[in-house]
């Protein structure tokens, strides 16, 4: 993670986070560990909990706690009660800055610990779902401090969501099942940046890709990108593998399970485990559920068909694989580190609400990443600069 490393080296010299306590609710992975070390190098005291019950890499959590004396609350496979106890432990520490991946930390701070929320200077949000939740909180007048929507930086979602989720989702499905993708029909529900990445990579692996969408513009884009587009009620009978990545609830439901092929594989790569209606599937299977492999639950329906659910419907790229590779998290977490520095140096200047990542940070991350990759680009000539800033030259 060369961009994050360069930032960490500068942080170690300049200590922009000196004296600040950071409460972070993130997937506890090796990449997150690098981010936590960069923040500590900048002078921060770090309190970290998981942002998903299945995404923690236990060796990483132990390493940060034992070797770096950080406060870490995360264990892979924790149940919901323990997941929330861990968030509450971070809240109880009284963070000055928050980092969220899905907005659970800010939700608990706001609803259960308004006094702790009152002393937060600001926070960041990593993911699309979290930004959507934050905008709803803002609309309802509940947001008490400024939050920078890291997800919306170009150097985040154009790369992390598209290439990171695209690759790691297929990686998770393959690690969980060892299925051959070539020749299969893969149904991708949702054509946001994550869905685009998954569809593109699935096609590259030789799959026939069907996209389902509710947004006419995104659906049209999928058609012109060369995919078949149809409602899930039609796609359900055709797919061999289904991947939900909409950020919404109840995307695969009883009426879809009712017509799926026997042996269908169903996985989710959206933030929460609500996209696949597992209670409906459990009702249809009447308790006939086997675990043929780790991360695979095989539901046998009354008519003898089986449906294989991966990773309990949780983010399959983090449950069964290792999440996005470091090369792409480098940019996401560089944005995170620089956004926190921005909040620390502009404390009191930003009003409560959702804020964009400053453009200068986005551009700096791109410049540093290109430099790390050894890629040089052109500069505008003086004549070109003049041309772009004038209106007088036409046909």
CB of 280 to ligand ADE, least distance (A): 28
Spatial contact of 196 and 217, defined as CB atoms under 8 Å apart: no
The neighbour count for residue 16, using CB atoms within 10 Å, is: 19
Toward ligand ADE, which CB reaches closer, 239 or 247?
247
Residue whose CB is less far from ligand ADE, 33 or 284: 33
Write down the least CB distance from residue 31 to ligand ADE, Å. Answer: 4
CB of 160 to ligand ADE, least distance (A): 7
Which residues lie closer than 8 Å to 45 by C-beta, 6 or more apart?
A: 20, 21, 22
Which is closer to ligand ADE, CB of 171 or CB of 240?
A: 171
Our CB check for ligand ADE shows the closer of 271 and 305 to be 271
Instruction: Report the nearest approach of ligand ADE to the CB of residue 172 (Å).
Output: 10
Least distance (Å) between residue 81 CB and ligand ADE: 23
- Whichever of 103 and 121 has its CB closer to ligand ADE, that residue is 103
Q: Tell me if 1 sits within 8 A of 330, measured CB to CB.
A: yes
Residue among 63, 76, 55, 58 nearest 34 (CA): 63
| C-beta neighbour count of 140 within 10 angstroms | 8
Closest residue to ligand ADE, judged by C-beta, is 323
Q: CA–CA separation, 337 vs 43, rounded Å?
A: 12
Using the Cα atoms of residue 8, residue 14, residue 17 and residue 19 in order, give the sign of their dihedral: positive
**Residue 93 — φ and ψ, nearest 5°?**
-70, -15
Phi, psi of 166 (to 5 degrees): -55, -50
Residue among 201, 191, 131 nearest 168 (CA): 201
Give me the helix-helix angle, 30-41 and 58-68, nearest 10°: 20
Q: Minimum distance from CB of 94 to ligand ADE (Å)?
A: 24
Of 59 and 215, the one with the shorter C-beta distance to ligand ADE is: 59
- Cβ proximity to ligand ADE, 98 vs 212, nearer residue: 98
By the 10 Å C-beta count (0-12 exposed, 13-18 middle, 19+ buried), 179 is classed as middle
CB of 130 to ligand ADE, least distance (A): 12
Q: How far apart are CA 103 and CA 81, in angstroms?
A: 17
Binding site for ligand ADE (CB under 6 A): 26-27, 29, 31-32, 318, 323-324, 329
Q: E strands, the chain, where?
A: 21-26, 45-50, 71-73, 97-100, 122-125, 146-149, 185-189, 208-212, 228-229, 241-244, 264-268, 289-293, 296-300, 306-310, 353-356
As measured in angstroms, the least distance from the Cβ of 367 to ligand ADE is 23
Whichever of 123 and 239 has its CB closer to ligand ADE, that residue is 123
Task: Pick between residue 24 and residue 199 the one whose CB is nearest to ligand ADE.
Answer: 24
- The nearest distance, CB 32 to ligand ADE, in angstroms, is 5
């Amino acid at each position: 993670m060369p961009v994050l490393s360069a930032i960490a080296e500068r942080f170690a010299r300049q200590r922009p986070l000196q004296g600040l306590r950071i409460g972070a609710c993130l997937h506890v992975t090796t990449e997150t560990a690098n981010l936590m070390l960069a923040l500590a190098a900048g002078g921060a005291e770090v309190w970290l909990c998981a942002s998903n019950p299945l995404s923690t890499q236990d060796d990483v959590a132990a390493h940060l706690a034992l070797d770096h004396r950080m406060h870490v609350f995360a264990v892979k496979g924790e149940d919901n009660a323990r997941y929330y106890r861990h968030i509450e432990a971070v809240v109880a520490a009284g963070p000055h800055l928050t980092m969220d991946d899905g907005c659970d930390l800010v939700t608990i701070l706001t609803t259960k610990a308004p006094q702790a929320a009152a002393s937060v200077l600001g926070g960041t949000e990593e993911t699309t779902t979290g930004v959507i939740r934050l905008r709803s909180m803002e609309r309802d007048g509940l947001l008490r401090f400024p939050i920078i929507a890291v997800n919306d930086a170009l150097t985040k979602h154009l790369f992390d969501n598209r290439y990171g989720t695209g690759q790691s989702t297929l990686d998770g499905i393959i690690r969980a099942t060892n299925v051959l993708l070539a020749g299969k029909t893969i149904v991708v529900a949702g054509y946001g940046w994550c869905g685009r990445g998954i569809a593109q990579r699935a096609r590259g692996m030789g799959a026939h890709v069907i996209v389902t969408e509710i947004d006419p513009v995104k659906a049209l884009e999928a058609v012109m990108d060369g995919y078949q587009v149809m409602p899930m009620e039609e796609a359900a009978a055709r797919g061999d593998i289904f991947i939900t990545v909409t950020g919404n609830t109840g995307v695969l439901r009883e009426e879809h399970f009712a017509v799926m092929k026997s042996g269908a594989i169903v996985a989710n790569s959206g933030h929460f485990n609500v996209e696949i209606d597992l209670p409906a599937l459990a009702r249809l299977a009447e308790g006939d559920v086997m675990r043929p492999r780790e991360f695979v639950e095989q539901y046998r329906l009354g008519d003898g068909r089986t449906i294989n659910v991966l990773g309990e419907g949780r983010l399959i790229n983090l449950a069964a694989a290792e999440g996005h590779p470091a090369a792409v998290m480098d940019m996401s977490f560089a944005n995170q580190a620089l956004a926190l520095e921005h909040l620390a140096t502009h404390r009191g200047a930003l009003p409560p609400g959702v804020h964009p990542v400053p453009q200068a940070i986005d551009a700096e991350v791109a410049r540093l990443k290109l430099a790390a990759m050894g890629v040089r680009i052109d500069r505008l000539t003086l004549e070109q600069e003049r041309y772009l800033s004038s209106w007088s030259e036409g046909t």
